[in-house]
Amino acid sequence: MENNAQCPVKGCLGKLLCTAVPVFIVLFVMGYLIHHVWLMPIYERTASLWRPMGEMKEMMPMLLLYYAALSLVISALFCKVKQGKMACIAAEGTQAECKIGGKHCPIKCGVCFGLCIGLFMGVLCAGSYIWMPIPGELAVKWFIGDLVQGIVIGVVLSLICHCKMKNCAENK
């Protein structure tokens, strides 16, 4: 058991949960705003394509499971990207430039990561236009909604990790 100190997974679960919970909240809130507020008029015009509202309500546990899985995947990707980024910063010796507005600003890093995630999610979602008879307007709005959602998630993750690192540095 003495090899556990070298285990690369040690401590990752806590970090993953600390980041996945806020991502879950962002996904849930933004999902509501995007789908129940912004896109509802389009969904109502294309009602024949979707499950009836009663069935949709029954699917809520599946939606929560979907958001939880997506939160864990996005958080794990972010942690891996952040780990590589911090190694590069340490090699440059520019840790001081990780402040807000600095060369390695967490908001800029979050937007960059979020753009990648948002583009990925948006392309997947908008791609449904290829095999589903949905209006082009809906596909475009799905893409935009996922892009914005990805950016918000990226910024939230980056700020959480930035604040956590800052607190750790101050407590030493």
Domain segments of the chain: what residues?
15-171
d(CA 50, CA 39): 13
Taking only the tens place, the pLDDT of each residue in 123-153 is 999 999 999 999 999 999 999 999 999 999 9
Stretch 46-62: mean pLDDT = 95
What's the pLDDT at 8? 45
Residue 8, helix vs strand vs coil? coil
d(CA 79, CA 56): 33
Of 22-36, 39-53, 114-128, 154-168, the poorest mean pLDDT is in: 154-168
What angle do the packed helices 12-32 and 136-171 form, to 10 degrees?
A: 140
> Which residues, including other chains, have CB under 8 Å from residue 105's CB and lie 6 or more apart?
98, 99
